Amino acid sequence: MVGKVTGAGSGISQALVAIMASLVAVTGAPLIGLVLERTGNFTTALISIGLIFPTIAVTASLLLGFVLHDMQYHGLTRKDRGCIL
């Protein structure tokens, strides 16, 4: 669907997902350690990760969905923007 609606192919889309996933890999462990240190409860630390990062991911996907919907609704396809592919 991404390749049909936007100029981004599946490879670019996979790279963007990998970049977004790196945020969790880089900040997840320190955040778990910080919450664990403050609360002393490992379950609370894991729940905080389970609430924060999915909320960010869902919000980002909703915003991207609105952008892609607008592009599709207004007819802004790859050909309209002068893309060769």
- Can you tell me the distance from the alpha carbon of 41 to that of 35, in angstroms, rounded to the nearest whole number? 8
Global pTM reads 0.50
DSSP 59-85: HHHHHHHHHHHHHHHTT--TTTTT---
Q: What pLDDT, on the 0 to 100 scale, is given for residue 16?
A: 75
Question: How many other C-beta atoms are found inside a 10 Å radius of the C-beta of residue 34?
Answer: 13
**pLDDT, tens only, 20-43:** 778 777 888 888 899 999 999 999
Please report the pLDDT score of residue 85 as a whole number.
44
Domain ranges of the chain: 2-73
Query: CB-based contacts of 55: which residues, under 8 Å, 6+ apart?
Result: none
Question: Please, which pLDDT band fits residue 50 given cuts at 50, 70 and 90?
Answer: confident
Instruction: Report CA dihedral (59, 53, 18, 72) to the nearest 10 degrees.
Output: -10
CB 24 within 8 Å of CB 53: yes
Task: Give the rounded percent of residues in the chain with a pLDDT score beyond 70.
Answer: 67
Asked whether 9 and 74 are in contact (CB, 8 A), the reply is no
User: Tens of pLDDT along 56-80?
Assistant: 878 877 887 777 766 666 665 555 5
